[in-house]
Amino acid sequence: MTRYESARDWPTWRKWALLVPIYLIDLSVSWGASCFSPAQKKFQKDFGTSAEVTTLGLSLYVLGLALGPMFLAPLSEYFGRSPVYIVSYGTLLAWLLGTALAPNLGAFLVFRVLGGLTASCTIANLGGTIADLFPRRHTGKAMAWFLWAATCGSPLGYFLFSTIAQSRGWRDVFWALLGIAGGFWLLMSATLLILGETRPKEMRKELTASNLARDLLQRTMTRPFRFLSTEPIVMFAAAYNGFLYGISFLFNDALSLVFSQHRFNTLETGLAFLGIVVGISIGPLTHILFQERFFQRRVAAVAGPADQHAVVPEARVRTAMIAAVTLPISLFWFAWTSLPSVHWIVPILACVLWGWSFYTLILATYEFVVDSYGIWSASALAGVGLVRNLCGAGFPLFANQMYHRLGYEWATSLLAFLAILLLPITFVLYFKGEKLRMKSPFAASISRDASPSSGENAAADVEQPLEYTPEAEEKKNKMMKSSSS
């Protein structure tokens, strides 16, 4: 292959040829969570467990997804991105094999946690890979499809694997996932080895045991929690992401309960999840056609067309303000049309609106955090991701009890009321986001470095998730000390 100074110099076809197999991996990561849901009743019958204990098969995998990036993200700064993708996802195949062969409940749950830990390689790395390939101003389309894979994977996985769970046992579900994941791993590995590493060698840290241990400790024990406890932008993003992901996994059980009133079998319930898939899939189209164009116009007005690194974080959330309103509407719509007397297509149409709202809010908050925190965005996103996946692991545990005690209508209505409480967040980010950034020592520094008048675009060039230079690391350490004093 032709040698390039940077992955950003690659031709467009080569960038997308590398990204598409990783997007498929990201889809399958979410399939690993939702594939179990349509087979839960058969698993419950085989092992004689309660519904709550059986739900741990979903929750513990998502818990692994929450914790894995804390350890996998720093590794790419030493080894590069390709080895982390190949080794981590390759290890997942072993855990899937163990899951399919698990002789008892304990072994099954252990393999599910381990599977989530190693499957999280895309959560830890894919944002950084996109940053390697595109200037910060032009990450919008690649991020849109990244978040599509991350959000669409769960409902799409429920549908795909319900076709197996309808007539076969729960072990066959994991055998099928193992076969699909194995094929994706071979495709991704071949692509990465042929096209090459995206993270430049000079940007990787010198590998020493003390440095690696220090990075793991800082990433897992201090930085994400500092952002979560001191930065309002991160708190807002974490609250919204946690709530949205919690509902998305809670729906694996809730939709099964609701559509059981319509006497849907496993496969028919899986088909109902296509409503969410359609809504999420509309999201990238509206983002590229409307939101991204609005963003580019705002940036051009501020920085001009030549500056490839300038961003206006507030311009990222314009469409999200609409989604913040449609989210509770979709939940109320679903709640009060889930009655057996109402035709089943009506609540499924509500799921379409919910899927679009869900995707749009996740993408907007993700991009706002990245643009606001620059070289610190990896730590900020680690805090957001931790809350997001902890909620994703926790919400399904009370789904059955909540829907049975409150009733199907009021249980979903409760979620809608909570969505109303969160509704002002996107408006605050849009209208007051700049003031919030200026009050943050981290975001304010990024804003000054990236301003068109400063002429200092070096910081903007390395601001994306997991980007690293010795100067950026020194700058981070100084800022951390000043913020803690």
DSSP track, 380-414: HHHHHHHHHHHHHHHGGGGHHHHHHHH-HHHHHHH
CA distances from 427 to 131, 364, 430 (A): 27, 12, 5
> For the chain, how big is the Rg over CA atoms in Å?
22
Provide CB contacts within 8 A for 446, sequence distance 6+. 372, 373, 374, 375, 376, 437, 459, 460, 463
Least confident of 278-287, 412-421, 435-444: 435-444
Q: How far apart are CA 38 and CA 42, in angstroms?
A: 9
Is 128 strand, coil or helix? helix
Least confident of 19-33, 211-225, 242-256, 299-313: 211-225
When pLDDT is averaged across residues 417-428 and rounded to a whole number, the result is 97
Residue 472 domain flag? yes
pLDDT-derived band at 483 (thresholds 50, 70, 90) equals very low
Residue 194 domain flag? yes
Residue 2 domain flag? no
For residue 205, give the DSSP letter: P
Q: What integer best gives the mean pLDDT of the chain?
A: 87
- Report the Cα 104 to chain-centroid distance in Å: 31
pLDDT at 89: 96
At residue 375, what are phi and psi to the nearest 5 degrees? -65, -15
Token couple for 369: 């955090």
Q: Which of 131, 452, 468, 139 is nearest to 310 (CA)?
A: 452
Question: At what angle are helices 51-79 and 399-406 packed, to 10 degrees?
Answer: 140
**Pair 459, 375: CB distance under 8 Å:** yes
pLDDT at 236: 96
Sign of the CA dihedral 291, 276, 171, 66? positive
- Does the reported pTM lie above 0.75? yes
Name the amino acid, one letter, at 317.
Answer: V
Q: Which of 194, 72, 180 is nearest to 126 (CA)?
A: 72
Q: DSSP H helical segments within 196-231, as ranges?
A: 209-221, 223-230
Q: How far apart are CA 106 and CA 44, in angstroms?
A: 14
When pLDDT is averaged across residues 175-195 and rounded to a whole number, the result is 97
pLDDT at 461: 32
pLDDT at 352: 97
Range of the domain at 82: 10-484
**Pair 133, 19: CB distance under 8 Å:** yes
Percent of the chain with pLDDT over 70: 89
For residue 120, the domain's CATH number is 1.20.1250.20
Residue 425 domain flag? yes
pLDDT-derived band at 442 (thresholds 50, 70, 90) equals confident
pLDDT at 219: 64
Side-chain half-sphere exposure of 258, counting CA atoms within 13 A = 31
On the question of pLDDT at 87 being above 90, the answer is yes
Least confident of 130-139, 255-264, 475-484: 475-484
pLDDT at 146: 94
The more confident residue out of 73 and 356 is 356
When pLDDT is averaged across residues 258-279 and rounded to a whole number, the result is 90
Token couple for 249: 């996994």
For tokens 């690993």, the residue is: 32
pLDDT at 6: 86
Tens of pLDDT, residue by residue over 189-233, are 999 999 999 987 777 777 677 777 777 776 666 778 889 999 999
Provide CB contacts within 8 A for 289, sequence distance 6+. none
Is 162 strand, coil or helix? helix
pLDDT at 454: 30
pLDDT at 222: 79
pLDDT-derived band at 478 (thresholds 50, 70, 90) equals low
Provide CB contacts within 8 A for 480, sequence distance 6+. 223, 226
Residue 4 domain flag? no
Number of domains in the chain: 1
Residue 49 domain flag? yes
Residue 350 domain flag? yes
Token couple for 385: 């991701």
When pLDDT is averaged across residues 341-368 and rounded to a whole number, the result is 95
**Pair 40, 179: CB distance under 8 Å:** no
Residue 1 domain flag? no
